[in-house]
């Protein structure tokens, strides 16, 4: 009998638990939900397992506080880490989350040495670099989830502005995950038509700003916590493209070695995701303005990486 795929989700908070939900409902894989808090991953996995008879998904769901159960995972989605608390500097958060992601990666590499790592923890690009260095995995197997989310936000806003189906809209966002990201309206389309032909520049600029601040907008509305439906589904879309060898072209944070003039750094660019993880990094031609915006974004990531000394 063919073995079912196995996905581990590290961190059973909103993003992790929702990722487990999407994976189960799509019947992509058996799921192991791991968290340091006793009872939480077990309780959420049990609740989700009890939803299976209603929705009709046949996957096994397990909650655990240690990594033995995760052995032999095909994909590991890492969402663990602390959100920023009042009075915490970015550097404080950076060091704390770097320690968390580092220790998680050690365990994952030990129990699932052939897995693909999808990093969702923030600050995203720097945490992907931590996981890459700590795991010793080849660069095609460590991927950061940011561009899928940023592009989805841009597509949502474009579809709203154009009053069309979101399915008609494609959007392109490059760069680090954060306010230095580089949305590219020139490469964003509605039913194949560049959106620059359909929307005036001032409207596009508003959409670009809203995209770059998409996470902050949701944090501001929720007051406690941050976005989780779209970020978790972004990680699941990447997981699905790998497990099903779909070869989707998605914007992801990957380790660049000269592409786009960027070296030894995780930055968001379009990549082809298939059975071998990152199968191709796609280099598109950029205008001088776009290129300098991407360099600025890479410099912001480099700053964080330098603080960590990785």
Residues with Cβ within 8 Å of residue 9, at least 6 apart in sequence: 16, 17, 19, 20, 23, 31, 32, 33, 34, 76, 77, 79
Residues of the chain with CATH 3.90.110.10: 147-304
Residues with Cβ within 8 Å of residue 249, at least 6 apart in sequence: 270, 271, 272, 273, 282
Given a cut of 70, is residue 4 above it in pLDDT? yes
Our measurement of the distance from residue 278's CA atom to the centroid of its chain's CA atoms, rounded to an integer in Å, reads 14
Among 211, 213, 203, smallest CA distance to 183 is for 211
Confidence (pLDDT) at 1: 62
Report the share of the chain in percent with pLDDT over 90.
92
- In this prediction the pTM is 0.97
Mind listing the pLDDT tens digit for each residue in 117-137?
A: 999 999 999 999 999 999 999
Can you tell me the distance from the alpha carbon of 167 to that of 184, in angstroms, rounded to the nearest whole number?
A: 18
Confidence (pLDDT) at 87: 73
Token pair belonging to 197: 């032909």
Q: What is the CATH number of domain 147-304?
A: 3.90.110.10
Q: How many CA atoms lie within 13 A of 69 on its CB side?
A: 19
- Average pLDDT over the chain, rounded to an integer: 96
Mind listing the pLDDT tens digit for each residue in 251-294?
A: 999 999 999 999 999 999 999 999 999 999 999 999 999 999 99
Confidence (pLDDT) at 92: 82
Mind listing the pLDDT tens digit for each residue in 169-205?
A: 999 899 998 889 999 999 999 999 999 999 999 999 9
pLDDT category at 116 given cuts 50, 70, 90 is: very high
Mind listing the pLDDT tens digit for each residue in 75-100?
A: 999 999 987 777 777 778 899 999 99
The DSSP symbol for 175 reads B
Confidence (pLDDT) at 5: 98
Among 54, 52, 51, 16, smallest CA distance to 32 is for 16
Confidence (pLDDT) at 91: 77
Task: State whether CATH 3.40.190.290 applies to domain 6-144.
Answer: no
Q: How many residues does the chain have?
A: 310
Residues of the chain with CATH 3.40.50.720: 6-144
Given a cut of 80, is residue 22 above it in pLDDT? yes
Query: Looking at residues 59-77, what average pLDDT do you find?
Result: 98
Confidence (pLDDT) at 179: 84
Strands 116-119 and 6-10: unpaired
Token pair belonging to 260: 């786009």
Among 270, 198, 226, 237, smallest CA distance to 84 is for 226
Token pair belonging to 271: 């990549």
Catalytic positions, written as ranges:
177
């Amino acid at each position: 009998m063919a073995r079912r795929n196995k996905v581990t989700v590290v961190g059973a908070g909103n993003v992790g638990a929702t990722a487990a939900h999407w994976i189960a409902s799509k019947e992509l894989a058996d799921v192991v939900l791991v968290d340091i808090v006793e009872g939480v991953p077990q309780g959420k996995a049990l609740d989700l397992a009890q939803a299976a008879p209603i929705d009709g998904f046949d996957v096994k769901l397990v909650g655990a506080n240690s990594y033995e159960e995760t052995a032999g995972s095909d994909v590991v989605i890492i969402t663990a880490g602390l959100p920023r608390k009042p009075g915490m500097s970015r550097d404080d958060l950076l060091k704390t989350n770097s320690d968390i992601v580092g220790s998680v990666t050690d365990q994952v590499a030990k129990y699932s040495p052939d897995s693909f790592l999808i990093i969702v923890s923030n600050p995203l690009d720097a945490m992907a670099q931590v996981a890459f260095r700590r795991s010793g995995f080849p660069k095609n197997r460590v991927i950061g989830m940011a561009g899928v989310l940023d592009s989805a936000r841009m597509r949502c806003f474009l579809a709203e502005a154009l009053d069309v189906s979101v399915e008609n809209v494609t959007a392109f966002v490059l760069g680090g995950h954060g306010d230095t990201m580089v949305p590219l309206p020139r490469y964003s389309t509605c039913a194949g038509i560049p959106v620059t032909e359909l929307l005036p520049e001032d409207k596009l600029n508003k959409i670009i700003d809203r995209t770059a601040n998409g996470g902050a907008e949701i944090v501001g509305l929720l007051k406690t916590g941050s976005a989780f439906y779209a970020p978790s589904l972004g990680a699941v879309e990447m997981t699905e493209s790998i497990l099903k060898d779909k070869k989707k072209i998605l914007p992801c944070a990957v380790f660049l070695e000269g592409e786009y003039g960027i070296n030894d750094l995780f930055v968001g660019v379009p990549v082809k995701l298939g059975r071998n993880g990152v199968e191709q990094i796609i280099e598109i031609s950029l205008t001088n303005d776009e290129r300098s915006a991407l360099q600025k974004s890479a410099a912001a990531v480099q700053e964080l990486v330098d603080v960590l000394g990785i």
